[in-house]
Amino acid sequence: MLLIIVLLLDKFYTPKWIPPQIDDNELTKVDRNQDGEIDSWIYRNEEGIPSIGIIDQNYNGDPDSWAFFKNGKAFLDEEDSDGDGKIDKIFLHVFSEDKNKIREFFFDLLDKKRNIFVEKEDTGWVDVTK
């Protein structure tokens, strides 16, 4: 049975990414396809640990994928897969307390007007030590 989750994304997200004001030493820029244009940005905290990753997956100049990190590990990924400037896919990564297992949840946008997401997949607990 599918679990429907309502997220009020309009309250938390803007249609276009606005980068935070940070020092250049906290930002890594990458040209993944080596065409001379930056298409990946990694923001790091004061200790140099990644906090936000942003990717332009279709190389059109606009970011369409965001990863949020805690203690250097991604816990939330968001994606604008259709290029309309709104998040339509969410990937949630949950680690066990001992950090030896991960459980991932995948959500797809069900209703764009009301920002209703539906759970698409739950991987169950997976051992990451193997």
Partner residues linked to 70 by β-bridges: 73
The H or E element containing residue 15 is none
What is the predicted pLDDT for the residue at 115?
Answer: 81
What gap in Å lies between CA 45 and CA 23, rounded to an integer? 10
Domain locations along the chain: 1-14+29-52+69-89+97-112+119-124
- When pLDDT is cut at 50, 70 and 90, the band that residue 96 belongs to is confident
Q: Find where tokens 């989750």 sit.
A: 5
* pLDDT, tens digit, 9 for 90 and up, residues 17-44: 445 555 555 788 999 999 999 999 998 8
Q: How many CB atoms lie within 10 A of CB 106?
A: 16
Could you give the CA distance from residue 23 to residue 81 in angstroms, rounded to a whole number?
30
**Which of 19-23, 51-55, 104-108 is predicted with the least confidence, judged by mean pLDDT?**
19-23
Output the six-digit token pair for 9: 């994304």
